[in-house]
Amino acid sequence: MFCAMPERIHGRGAQSGKVPTRFNLAERVIDADWRDHVENLDGPPIKLRTTVTEERPKSILTFNRSPDVPFDRSVNAYRGCEHGCIYCFARPTHAYHDLSPGLDFETRLFAKPNAAGLLRATLAKKGYRPK
């Protein structure tokens, strides 16, 4: 029996949401036969839309203690990314919030609009010492 591969999602690096999240190990499987019927009746699938949710963190600096990177701090003004680089080291962060490191990482972004103010306040603290 021939089983057609699902169509590639244009403009996305991850092609599914099957990657298990940290707390929920459920797997989502596309029924290829059902998809064929839906496409015949309703036309091609709709494009995935990206949503951006604002969040207000207390800090903006992340401390890195890794021999792989030559710096010990980084600024993270948002979580998630539309670029779709499948090798991205930041993908697992979505799993902490029960979201998929696959398509959710590319379609559900979290922006920190107060990032510049937080960075300014952190760098202005009396005890802050850059390395």
Q: Which domain holds residue 64?
A: 49-124
In a domain, 63, yes or no: yes
What pLDDT, in 10s, does the model give residues 49-87?
899 999 999 999 888 888 887 888 888 888 999 888 878
User: Looking at residue 114, what is its pLDDT?
Assistant: 94
User: Looking at residue 2, what is its pLDDT?
Assistant: 54
Which of 72, 37, 32, 79 has its CA nearest to residue 56?
79
In a domain, 35, yes or no: no
User: Looking at residue 108, what is its pLDDT?
Assistant: 93
| Partners of 73 in the β-ladder | 63
In a domain, 25, yes or no: no
In a domain, 106, yes or no: yes
In a domain, 36, yes or no: no
User: Looking at residue 67, what is its pLDDT?
Assistant: 85
φ/ψ of 62, rounded to 5, equals -115, 135
Separation CA 110–CA 67 (nearest Å)? 28
In a domain, 60, yes or no: yes
Strand blocks (E) in 7-118: 51-54, 61-63, 73-75, 78-79, 108-111
The answer to whether residues 73 and 62 touch, using CB atoms and an 8 Å cutoff, is yes
Q: Which residues of the chain have pLDDT under 50?
A: none
In a domain, 16, yes or no: no
Count of domains forming the chain: 1
User: Looking at residue 93, what is its pLDDT?
Assistant: 84
